Structure 1
Amino acid sequence: MAEQRVHVDVDDAIAYVRLNRPDKLNALDMPMFRQISQTIERLRAMDSLRCVVLSGEGPAFCAGIDLALLKGKDDVKTVLRERNADQANLFQAVAWGWRMLPVPVIAAVHGAAIGAGCQIMLGADVRIATPDAKISLRETYWGLVPDMAAFPLLKGLVREDVVRELVYTARVVPGSEAGTLGLVTHIADSPLEQAKELAQTIAAQSGEAVRAAKRLLNAMAQANSADLLHAESEEQAALLDSVGHVQAVAGKAIR
């Protein structure tokens, strides 16, 4: 039986998810890919969930794929061709799945976020990293391309010429520069603590409204303006009758 590669603790409607293979810098083997995907599906089914904080146990967030996995090329090719309901394969699902989760995800990044680790980080709605974190789309160094949803996740997030340079060169970017480039949202000496504070702020808002906002924000990347205008109206019409809206208005009116 595989060791527990992912730890999850839920407290006050916030899920704290920790990648847990610290002796390998949280490098991803097949059991870890499967456990991350299964974790995302469990969280997706939690109606009371308000936010997720994603971090790595030990000295790194995630140093990428365990290179031993690539020795089974036929098995890897099989996984590449299989698709889930989000049209992602298993490798893509561990990054894209965070973006498709119905609640906000905050990644707290320290140490290495290389290759697969960088793409998992990009799946989060908000990314907080230490100034000395090492971040890289490293795949071309190994004669490969980023293939864990990097391109749809980077679209609209980082300038295209910057993405091209990072992918072509496989350059390792310090966290401080990653903030300037747009790869991360905030720079902090204690990203996990800042992520927890932000998660608590998000969890204090209307859960229905935040989920609706994430649906609209996700739609921005693909829908045209007309579709987005209609989607905004539909979400708002539903929220006007929601318990969260009624309670928020009543509470603020009392003040």
Structure 2
Amino acid sequence: MSAQQNLADSRHSLRHPVDLTIRDDIAYVSLNRPDKLNALNLATFKSLASIARSLRNNRNIRGVILQGAGADFCSGLDVKSIMEDKSGMVRLLKKWLPGSSNLAQQVSSNWRKIPVPVIAVIQGRCWGGGLQIVLGADFRFVTSDVSLAVMESKWGLIPDMAGNMALRELLPKDQALRLAMTAEPISATEALAINLVTQVSDTPLQDAESLLGELKLKSPDALAAIKRLYTRNWQSPDWKMLMMETWYQVKIILGKNQRRAVKKQLNPDDAKPYLPRGRW
């Protein structure tokens, strides 16, 4: 083997499976195994879960963009890698409490817990675990040539990476059943028609950045409260939704950012920048 090949293999082995960059108060989280179609191995699961936890506690970021390097967002599990590591399988599936998220589920459910808008930018294949990950985002912007699939039944499995929480919010039950049972990929047009994706675009990253630029003009506490209210209570009984609306509103009114939002509307020339988000 040549020295050049050795160097290339060394660089490949040192590459982090997920990159995090924070720029202009926006966190860019990128799957970084393009040579493997960003397939998910144990290291990717650990990195995604850890990054999402750290972003949840970062009170200065105003949004998250979730993306994949290369031609495909994510082709699903790196089946060979996962199946060969029996202890890794245990680490993916174990949980302390039945209702808590295990590592396999955290790569989707953790995005729902971050109190800022999370936008997934998706191109190429977004299959299996890749689709489960982006279902944890608040918005999904896709290219016109995207291919999306709930792939688990192809392997004799059920989808178990927490994406079902979003599927029941987004899709009628028959559409979710069809996706999960057939494991057949669908196009961007089909996905938009059944509400699986938010927007089809030739420039999804630019559109995502544009939306976050608009949302950065709003109070970070108001956006955090809206996300928490909708994510936690979308299917709650009426009495709980009414109760939480009032509770969050009182909390917001007692904070300083709401007064700054009013100032921005009534006297923008004298308005001050928003303070870092409170604890939500």
Shared topology, TM-score over 0.5?
Answer: yes
Return the TM-score normalized by structure 1. 0.94
> How far apart in 1 are the matches of 2:147 and 2:265?
44
Aligned to 1:139: 152
Unpaired runs of 5+ in structure 1?
none
Tell me the secondary structure at the aligned position of residue 47 of structure 1: coil
Structural mapping, 1:55-204, within 5 Å: 55-68=67-80, 69-73=82-86, 75-83=88-96, 87-204=100-217
Query: Aligned with 1:31: secondary structure?
Result: helix
Number of aligned positions between the proteins: 255
Q: Deviations over 1:105-155 (max 9, x none)?
A: 000000110000011111100001111101000111111111101221211
1:24 corresponds to 2:36: yes
Matching residue's letter, 2:62: R
Q: Supply the distance in 2 between the matched residues of 1:40 and 1:220 (Cα, whole angstroms).
A: 21
Question: Do structure 1's residue 230 and structure 2's residue 230 form an aligned pair?
Answer: no
The one-letter code sitting in structure 1 at the alignment partner of 2:229 is L
**Counterpart AA for 1:246:** R
Amino acid in the other structure paired with 1:26: N
- Percentage of pairs with the same residue: 35
Q: Which amino acid aligns with 1:109?
A: I
Describe the SS at the equivalent of 1:106: strand
Q: 2:47 aligns with which of 29, 35, 49?
A: 35
Distance in 1 between the 2:23 and 2:214 partners? Answer: 14
Kindly provide the CA deviation profile for residues 187-223 of structure 1, in whole angstroms up to 9, marking residues without a partner as x.
0011111111111111221001100111101122453
1:52 is aligned to 2:57: no
State the superposition RMSD in angstroms. 1.8
The alignment status of 1:10 with 2:35, answered yes or no, reads: no
Q: Would you say the 8 A contact 2:91–2:103 is kept in 1?
A: no
Q: Which residue does the alignment assign to 2:264?
A: 251
What secondary structure is seen at the aligned counterpart in 1 of 2:170? coil
Q: Is the 8 A contact 1:110 1:133 kept in 2?
A: yes
Match of 2:230 among 217, 241, 244: 217
CA distance in 2, matches of 1:254, 1:193: 31
Structure whose alpha-carbon radius of gyration is higher: 2
Question: Which 4+ residue blocks in structure 1 deviate beyond 3 angstroms?
Answer: 71-75, 83-86
Instruction: Work out the CA distance in 2 between the residues paired with 1:239 and 1:89.
Output: 32
TM-score (norm 2): 0.86
Letter in 2 for 1:228: M
Task: Tell me the CA shift for residue 250 of structure 1.
Answer: 1.5
Q: Which amino acid aligns with 2:183?
A: A
